[in-house]
A and B are shown apart, each in its own frame.
Chain A
């Protein structure tokens, strides 16, 4: 009887090993550029993850269809499901960092700040850039200490600046900030706590009163916090929320009588998936945004024409087309494809390696003219990186407002990018020393 079971086990082993061989067989996709998609189509954030990966995939499929890939180098994509779990993400990283079936990997986009922080050592070892638009850690922007980390576009310290800037605009001048009370209601985690220091510094600069109120994960009970917001006589709430905490917060605000249009959500708390569950209570809710929603951009029209009008495309539900998270995916792949193009100018139109991609990142320049060519004006702000600056030489974001069936939006709001840089550098230096990471010798960054 056990012999029979043993033979079943053997059969299973043979099946597994043959399929493994098929997976790791070399050469089937030589001459193509491999791009592993770190997805979370399952798990607690599946609705978000499904939109993101659809955008990522559609953008590169669109390039594959229209120009045979990036400059004719076909994009070969394979999904690796992480369920937004760091352990699984690391397994995916190890599996695909060396390329797949003869096609080299040029970039890892883990789509998770946690994973971004967890793979620093691995990125350095494999000379593999890790790009995360809008996420990651603020200290990663200094290229001298974080050679392979690219947290492009944004960080939470700059978000605090954008929020204060936006409030000043609404009030009609920075001097009017003086007698305001700005409460930061934050998810009590590393992510949520990142804005404590910048808000304190900004309050010292502009003279508003800074109040910090934590909400424990998952944040589905916020009565006490909103009661306290009332008692503090808050004028504005900077809502650093995540997941289920957001709709609950919006509804609780409505119940306690706090005006919803004076709540300014975090970039991860301002999407259709955040406001729709709150129903009518969310009408007027505002939030910081770097992945502008909408379908009117030239690029999105082209994607729709090339893919969805011909029955292709990754989305099952068309109403997700043009949402914040779908456009996040499109923007991610857009930046990635521009990195490949930059790499091709130096290395030729061929698949590039991680180390070559690092050069491309550090010479990336998506300017206004290029944005017009791609048809992404308004979708992405100009993005220029360098060896010293792995985030972007100008930082811009919009503030969008939920109208019940779509979003109204401000134009790009720009901020002083130099304000927090000394702090980031000091922190990065300390961290590098702690971990024994050598500092890159880049004289142009030592200003």
Chain B
């Protein structure tokens, strides 16, 4: 995987140069989207499309901070989602005085602590070997949460359900309430991510990922920066886990955060674009929406009447895989880059039109 993060810096530059325009634009668009969507879409769209897309996008941001910016590969992201979800569950249950936002942040912090712990091997090993050691986190937490029923309050079926989702006495268990939690959290985390990558920390991360030795030479504390990346990355994943468990699934268990989920996050980062923030949401949209659209298209075109749905489902997978391969060949820097170029081409065309007119 390290080969794909060709030059994160080249990706960042145009962003920081044009940040005066791009950043407020994106934030503004997101804010409008967050406020407008619940009013216009029906439950299905919010529940099954918007919420999972935003939550997986947050997890993507988390992994991207670690992988895209700092250059440490991890395939244990879902484990930290599980830590977040189970921490939030136990905090809500056992410390009922805590308000929801505090619980979400605390759950993220607990995930961050474990992230730093499992990030320790990164001080010695790199690349593929580091990926293998993060895999350890994946198996460890799945084992922990299935074998010690204390974590799910001795529930017979080992599942956790959000005990309460409320803020200032408002019940947020409805679709719109859950969507508000997710969208507000997303906005806050995206803003935080932008300010981190554009700060000294972000620049030092990029230096570390470009070449560790030279980063050391210019006085960057490589070890501290790597551990910080693990911590912040897990913080994001932990919060994504809380939202996934309580605002999307509403009832989850350790297997809701299995290795498949980790790979899904990895694909979101690669397809969306390494070393980008907004790209993760495009990647998440692609991963979450494409299978649903393909499936709906099959139903809509009336193919189910004639063809066995098992066959069409397998065909959808083939098509989905082919799309991923095609995108990676055509645009190794991800969909975000593709979109940027498309926008540039469009504005160029407009300019030419104006000139000729």
Which residues of A are interface residues toward B (Cβ below 8 A)?
1-3, 5-6, 15-16, 18-23, 39, 41-42, 46, 50, 78-79, 81, 83, 86-87, 90-91, 94-95, 98, 113-114, 117-122, 125, 137-139, 188-191, 193-194, 316, 427, 431, 434-436
Partner of B313, one of A41, A86, A90, A139: A41
B297 with A190: CB separation less than 8 A: no
A117 with B157: CB separation less than 8 A: yes
For this complex, 18 residue pairs linking A to B, each with C-beta atoms less than 8 Å apart, are A2-B341, A2-B342, A2-B345, A16-B296, A19-B296, A20-B296, A78-B304, A81-B295, A81-B313, A87-B52, A91-B292, A94-B43, A118-B252, A188-B147, A190-B158, A316-B308, A434-B163, A435-B161
A190 with B147: CB separation less than 8 A: no
A19 with B297: CB separation less than 8 A: yes
Which residues of chain B come closer than 8 Å to A94, judged between CB atoms?
43-44, 47-48
With both beta carbons as reference points, the residue of chain A lying nearest to B175 in the complex is identified as A125
A119 to B159, CA, bound (A): 12
A6 to B345, CA, bound (A): 10
A23 with B300: CB separation less than 8 A: yes
B300 with A19: CB separation less than 8 A: yes
A81 with B297: CB separation less than 8 A: no
* Distance between B85 CB and nearest chain A CB, rounded to angstroms: 13
* Distance between B324 CB and nearest chain A CB, rounded to angstroms: 15
With contacts A19-B301, A117-B251, A190-B157 taken as known, whether A42 is within 8 angstroms of B296 at the C-beta atoms is no
Which residues of chain B come closer than 8 Å to A122, judged between CB atoms?
250
With both beta carbons as reference points, the residue of chain A lying nearest to B293 in the complex is identified as A16
Say yes or no: is B274 at the interface (Cβ < 8 Å to chain A): no
Which residues of chain B come closer than 8 Å to A78, judged between CB atoms?
299, 304
With contacts A94-B44, A189-B146, A194-B156 taken as known, whether A5 is within 8 angstroms of B342 at the C-beta atoms is yes
A122 to B247, CA, bound (A): 12
A3 with B345: CB separation less than 8 A: yes
With contacts A22-B300, A95-B48, A121-B173 taken as known, whether A137 is within 8 angstroms of B157 at the C-beta atoms is yes
Say yes or no: is B349 at the interface (Cβ < 8 Å to chain A): yes
A39 to B158, CA, bound (A): 24
* Distance between B100 CB and nearest chain A CB, rounded to angstroms: 14
A138 to B156, CA, bound (A): 9
Which residues of B are interface residues toward A (Cβ below 8 A)?
43-44, 47-48, 52, 93, 146-147, 149, 153, 155-159, 161-164, 173-174, 248-253, 255-256, 292-293, 295-297, 299-302, 304, 308-310, 313-314, 317, 338, 341-342, 344-346, 349
With contacts A3-B346, A78-B304 taken as known, whether A188 is within 8 angstroms of B146 at the C-beta atoms is yes
B310 with A41: CB separation less than 8 A: yes
B309 with A41: CB separation less than 8 A: yes
Which residues of chain B come closer than 8 Å to A86, judged between CB atoms?
249, 255-256
With contacts A20-B300, A23-B296, A118-B250 taken as known, whether A42 is within 8 angstroms of B313 at the C-beta atoms is yes
Which residues of chain B come closer than 8 Å to A22, judged between CB atoms?
300-302
Which residues of chain A come closer than 8 Å to B47, judged between CB atoms?
94
B300 with A90: CB separation less than 8 A: no
A84 to B296, CA, bound (A): 19
Which residues of chain B come closer than 8 Å to A20, judged between CB atoms?
293, 296-297, 300
* Distance between B187 CB and nearest chain A CB, rounded to angstroms: 24
B156 with A83: CB separation less than 8 A: no
B304 with A79: CB separation less than 8 A: yes
Partner of A118, one of B158, B249, B317, B346: B249
Q: Which of A39, A86, A188 gathers the greatest number of chain B CB atoms within 10 Å?
A: A86
Which residues of chain A come closer than 8 Å to B296, judged between CB atoms?
16, 19-20, 23
Partner of B156, one of A19, A91, A427: A427
Which residues of chain A come closer than 8 Å to B300, judged between CB atoms?
18-23
A117 to B160, CA, bound (A): 10
A434 with B153: CB separation less than 8 A: yes
* Distance between A421 CB and nearest chain B CB, rounded to angstroms: 15
A78 to B302, CA, bound (A): 11
B146 with A190: CB separation less than 8 A: yes
Which residues of chain B come closer than 8 Å to A16, judged between CB atoms?
293, 296-297
* Distance between B282 CB and nearest chain A CB, rounded to angstroms: 12
With both beta carbons as reference points, the residue of chain B lying nearest to A37 in the complex is identified as B309
With contacts A78-B299, A78-B304 taken as known, whether A121 is within 8 angstroms of B161 at the C-beta atoms is yes
A81 with B309: CB separation less than 8 A: yes
With both beta carbons as reference points, the residue of chain B lying nearest to A436 in the complex is identified as B164
A122 to B248, CA, bound (A): 11
Which residues of chain A come closer than 8 Å to B255, judged between CB atoms?
86, 114
With both beta carbons as reference points, the residue of chain B lying nearest to A137 in the complex is identified as B157
With both beta carbons as reference points, the residue of chain A lying nearest to B174 in the complex is identified as A125
* Distance between A5 CB and nearest chain B CB, rounded to angstroms: 7
With both beta carbons as reference points, the residue of chain A lying nearest to B295 in the complex is identified as A81
A90 with B342: CB separation less than 8 A: no
With contacts A3-B345, A118-B249, A434-B93 taken as known, whether A194 is within 8 angstroms of B44 at the C-beta atoms is no
A421 to B247, CA, bound (A): 32
* Distance between B304 CB and nearest chain A CB, rounded to angstroms: 7
Which residues of chain A come closer than 8 Å to B292, judged between CB atoms?
91
With both beta carbons as reference points, the residue of chain A lying nearest to B340 in the complex is identified as A2
Q: Which of A6, A113, A120 gathers the greatest number of chain B CB atoms within 10 Å?
A: A6
Seed contacts A81-B310, A121-B161, A316-B308; 18 additional CB < 8 Å A-B pairs: A2-B338, A2-B341, A6-B345, A16-B293, A16-B296, A19-B301, A20-B293, A39-B310, A41-B309, A42-B310, A90-B249, A120-B161, A121-B250, A137-B156, A138-B156, A189-B146, A193-B156, A193-B158
A194 with B346: CB separation less than 8 A: no
Which residues of chain A come closer than 8 Å to B147, judged between CB atoms?
188
A193 to B146, CA, bound (A): 10
* Distance between A60 CB and nearest chain B CB, rounded to angstroms: 15
A118 with B159: CB separation less than 8 A: yes
Which residues of chain A come closer than 8 Å to B174, judged between CB atoms?
125
